[in-house]
Amino acid sequence: MRATALLAMTGQSIWLDNITRKLLDSGQLATWIKELSVVGLTSNPSIFEKAITGSNDYDAQIRPLIAKGMKPEQIFFECAISDLTRAADLFKPVAQRTGSVDGWVSLEVSPLLANDTAATIAQAIDLHARANRPNLFIKVPGTPEGVPAIEELIAAGVSINVTLLFSEAHFAAAAEAYLRGLERRAAAGLPLGAVSSVASLFVSRWDRKTAPKLPAELKNTVGIAVSRACYHAYCTLYCSDRWLALEAKGARPQRLLYASTSTKDPALSPTLYVEGLASPRTVNTMPQETLIALSKATTIGSVLAPSDVSWRAVLDTVTKAGIDLKVCAAELQIEGRDSFNKSWIDLIANIETKSAALAS
């Protein structure tokens, strides 16, 4: 049996962290859904930058948009919504089969809005309405300015993928925003089961940042340890009286999603973060290289238990070695935001260049 199937049997959902028109047109995504237990999909500005500007696959759609006088950002969202609504339709049977636990795709608001709560809310509502798919998340960063937007959007019935989370404190802020949004819906007499969310924790960037500062025996241990700490907090939260009261009214848990799960060090196993974070009722969104590597394996190792606290010793040792985890988490969130900003700016500039070439 493939390790992808074994991982799915543990209760963890496999989502693909990629989208291109070629994946859709070639039938490759449909094949992975059928054969590799893929039950959802995520995207981000970096992924779309490579997809749109690195091929001619979007030229036929872009030409008439140029003729209509659309700006590069408008052209991007037209292309992205086209891809993601097709993917959402492809995952519709998965959503039906799982009661909308899985079958989701994600579309991100402009990263340039990460520090603007009101603009984030407005664009998220607009994109949600334009996509018009019940299994499409709008991605909103879990920055200090993004957290209030998450509460407002959940209260308004917009399902959210909270991105750019790096610590237990970041997860707690995202979860609190989700719960407050649900409680507002309950108070207004609105259905709670109509809205959903995931909290996306970035894993490998921890190790890329801390490895140069740590002794050999601690390198590449921080990402998994921080993620396990978040899983422990996640399990604790969804046993609380506060959550159970919402669940009794039909609410869905905001599932913990492990993102950035490809290894950056070629000396490491490509499935290091997958095997280290096999845990029930969570999601692992994988780049296709990681997905393929996992599909070639036949085991996944142990499954993480909610009671596991081995991460405490690891994080204590890392702290004693000179790593300030709170400071690192804050820096990682800013660096992640800035990285997405750069990809977005590059994407818009490249679409502008492509548009000029196509127009001529």
Q: Is the pLDDT of residue 186 over 90?
A: yes
Q: Kindly give, in sequence order, each residue whose CB lies less than 8 Å from that of residue 99, ignoring residues fewer than 6 positions away.
A: none
Q: Is the pLDDT of residue 14 over 90?
A: yes
Q: Where are the beta strands (DSSP E) in the chain?
A: 13-17, 38-42, 105-108, 136-141, 160-165, 197-202, 255-259, 283-286
Q: What pLDDT does 359 receive?
A: 81
175-179: average pLDDT: 98
Q: What pLDDT does 50 receive?
A: 85
Q: What pLDDT does 1 receive?
A: 87
- Active-site positions read 139
Q: Where are the beta strands (DSSP E) in 71-111?
A: 105-108
Q: What pLDDT does 233 receive?
A: 97
Q: Is the pLDDT of residue 10 over 80?
A: yes
Q: What is the CATH number of the domain that holds 158?
A: 3.20.20.70
Cα 17 from Cα 108, distance rounded (Å): 13
Q: What pLDDT does 355 receive?
A: 87
- Residue 296 tokens read as 């070639």
Q: What pLDDT does 161 receive?
A: 98
Q: What pLDDT does 48 receive?
A: 87
Percent of the chain surpassing pLDDT 70: 100
Cα 237 from Cα 325, distance rounded (Å): 22
Are 250 and 191 within 8 A, CB to CB? Answer: yes
- pLDDT one-digit tens code per residue, 95-132: 999 999 999 999 999 999 988 999 999 999 999 999 99
- pLDDT one-digit tens code per residue, 71-96: 999 999 999 999 999 999 999 999 99
Q: What pLDDT does 114 receive?
A: 86
> What residues make up the domain containing 175?
3-359
Q: How many domains in the chain?
A: 1
- pLDDT one-digit tens code per residue, 48-62: 888 888 888 999 999
- Which parts of 12-69 fold into alpha helices (H)? 21-25, 28-35, 45-53, 59-67
